[in-house]
């Protein structure tokens, strides 16, 4: 059994590439917001919140 050739790669159109880029940026922004949110919540939990 030989592996199948991988000559048939999918070529994305310009619109698909832009959509993929927008999704990637959106996921990155959401992850960054979650990191900041978890950091702030941790500071309040450890520090006792605002006094």
Is residue 32 classed as helix, strand or coil in its secondary structure? helix
Percentage of residues in the chain with pLDDT exceeding 90?
Answer: 65
Output the pTM of the full model: 0.67
Both tokens of residue 46? 């450890």
Please, which pLDDT band fits residue 23 given cuts at 50, 70 and 90? Answer: very high
Counting the structural domains of the chain, the total is 1
- Pure H helices in 1-51: 14-47
- Residue 1 in domain: no
Q: Does residue 10 lie within any of the structural domains? A: no
Cα separation of the two ends of the chain? 70
Q: 37 lies in a domain?
A: yes
pLDDT confidence tier of residue 3, bands split at 50, 70 and 90 = low
Residues spanned by the domain of 39: 17-50
Report the distance separating Cα 30 and Cα 6, nearest Å. 34
In this structure, is residue 9 part of a structural domain? Answer: no
Token pair 């006792």 in the structure block, residue: 48
- Report the distance separating Cα 13 and Cα 19, nearest Å: 10
């Amino acid at each position: 059994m030989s592996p199948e050739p991988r000559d048939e790669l999918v070529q994305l159109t310009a619109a698909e590439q832009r959509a993929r880029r927008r999704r990637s940026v959106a996921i990155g922004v959401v992850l960054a917001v979650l990191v900041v949110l978890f950091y702030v919540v941790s500071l309040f939990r450890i520090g006792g919140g605002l006094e």
